[in-house]
Chain A
Amino acid sequence: MTKSEASGPSARADANLVLDINDLLDDYTSLIDRDDLERWPDLFVADGVYRVLSRENIERGLTAPLVYYYSQGMMRDRVTTLRDALTYEFVYTRHVTSPPRLRLRADGDVAVTSSFSIFQSTEAGVTRTFAVGAYEDIVTRTERGVKFRSRDVVLDTFGVLNNIAIPL
């Protein structure tokens, strides 16, 4: 279902790369929904960037992020503090994402965008829509397979339902 926006056959991502990218995107959402957060930083390169941004700020040209991690270490720190330090509501999460759109970049990386909905369910099994928005990614090939060079989580739901604890 992946659609390439690049013009001309030579600019199309080859089939294996497309499959690898699909796996990366699936790994991301499924490991969060399984609460396997310790593996989350491994989907990024060592100096990978993870940001949560609001559509309101982007439209206004304002740069303040809701989250700005620029290393795997910072992502690991988030997971550690979620486990040991931070007080937040326990919820189950479920991501539903659209098929990605891919665009090969001149530097060989791939720009990938997809839409997401994130539902939260309480321990009593009551579900609410927590956030909708778009992932805007730069994916790169490494010796350890494809990884996120960056993932921007752009929130339409920037009027955040209480708070953001676990990664989106």
Chain B
Amino acid sequence: MNTRQTPEWPASDFTRVPFRVFMDEDIEQLEQERVFDRVWCYLGMAIEVPGPGDYIVAYVGRTEVVLSRDEEGRLAAFVNSCSHRGAQVVRRIRGNAMSHTCPYHQWCFGARGELLGLPLLRGVKGKGGMPEDFDKTAHGLKALRVEEYKGLVFGTFSPTIGSLHDYLGPRMRPQIDRIFDRKPRVLGYYRQRIPANWKLYLENLKDHHGALLHLFHATFGIARPTMTARVALDVERGHSFTHLADNDEDKVQVRAAYAGTEQYREDYRLDDPSFLQVEPDYDDRVTNVIMSIFPNLMLGQVANTFQTRAIRPKGKDEFELFWTYLAFEDDDDEAIEGKLRQSNFIGPAGYISLEDGEAGRMVQIGIASRPHDSSFVEMGGRGALEDADNISTEVAVRAFWKRYAEAMAIDGDDRR
């Protein structure tokens, strides 16, 4: 392990990000061990496994795990790889089962991943079978610790990490509460296979591209650089959130902000803008909330859409973006219809989101021959990592890299 190199950071304030972190297989291996295996990782929502035996497949980095609910209604999670010879045990991505039998040699596991039994334990006619000292309790599926906050379920391999409550921290919890104190229900899932390193999406969530790349966004008032904005950091934990709210800024201001670009067009009119005219769920005029929980969870709001996005690495240059699109139990039919209409903002085909996948693809291609160069991350200033009251800043990007670099620099195998 020590022969593998951790990334070297050209600037101590993380105003430079070496492109190597997006394209190096050694780094990808190392971040499984030093990032994903040591943190609280989002697995899914409690409402997705409502009853005993319900399960879903989820991921901790590249590791496939099963989130399950046992006979007594307790949540559990285990690695989806047989403790015998390693085969995938659970083969559907969702379902209900009080036990899971590995199809290869019929080892049978309970809803918490514990080994219930196996055939040929004592062999046949006194011959073969397991050694006398075989201990079933020592051969369950590798278990994770599982904790839940406001219906969001996380798992960890770390035996030493503190509670999920502390991991999320005092800055993020009120933001989560704003949305998840309501009882959600799943409207649907979206999946995108984005040809880019997963960390490029984290950068995308935390930077100031929203009102620049997304002309649709800018023109129709979902996000403009002149809106009331707040970028808040939890530097120690690696989380951040961005808020945008309407503030009736005037057109002169808006034009000035876009000077030198072609991204703001007042002559732009929609033939049918009805899907923009959906009654908002909240009266705080907040149009965008992008919460980013280290390392790979986004929670948020775009207009009147609410969602979780799990950023699942699938190799050094590909990730799955897995969306869970939410409504709330207190939504009436009109509110639900509004959310279905505003699905046109988000997901793989959404006016706003489709461009984020394209951004990742463009960067991955652009940097391919530049492993020894770095990006330039000084929008918003250098040095201290502090909250900002505007979105003309990349400070949250730098804060992410600081937390990532700290995790990657810590040697040793404290996981599992």
Contacts and interface: CB of A to CB of B under 8 A. Distances in A.
Interface of A: 52, 54, 56-57, 60, 62-74, 76-77, 80-81, 84-89, 158-165
B191 A159 contact: yes
A71 B192 contact: no
The 8 closest A-B pairs by CB, nearest first: A64-B188, A73-B272, A73-B271, A164-B349, A160-B348, A163-B354, A85-B215, A62-B188
A69 B193 contact: no
Contact of B193 (A60, A70, A76, A162): A162
B320 A163 contact: no
13 contacts: A52-B349, A56-B189, A64-B189, A73-B270, A77-B270, A80-B271, A81-B351, A85-B215, A85-B216, A86-B215, A159-B193, A161-B193, A163-B349
B188 A71 contact: no
Contacts of A52: 349
Nearest to B351: A81
A77 B351 CA distance: 11
Given A67-B349, A74-B271, 14 more contacts: A56-B189, A62-B188, A63-B340, A64-B187, A64-B188, A68-B275, A70-B341, A73-B270, A77-B270, A81-B351, A88-B358, A89-B358, A159-B320, A162-B357
B213 interface: yes
B354 A165 contact: yes
B340 A164 contact: no
B188 A63 contact: yes
B147 interface: no
A64 to B, nearest CB: 3
Given A63-B188, A73-B271, A77-B272, A162 B195 contact: yes
B415 interface: no
B274 to A, nearest CB: 8
B193 A65 contact: no
Nearest to A59: B94
Interface string B357-398: 111010000000000000000000000000000000000000
A46 to B, nearest CB: 10
Nearest to B326: A64
Contacts of A73: 270-272
Interface string B192-230: 111100000000000000000101100100000000000
B361 A89 contact: yes
Contact of B361 (A64, A65, A162): A162
B331 interface: no
Given A68-B343, A165-B354, A54 B188 contact: yes
B340 A66 contact: no
A129 B274 CA distance: 34
B343 A163 contact: no
A66 B190 contact: yes
B355 A88 contact: yes
Contact of A163 (B268, B336, B348): B348
A64 B216 contact: no
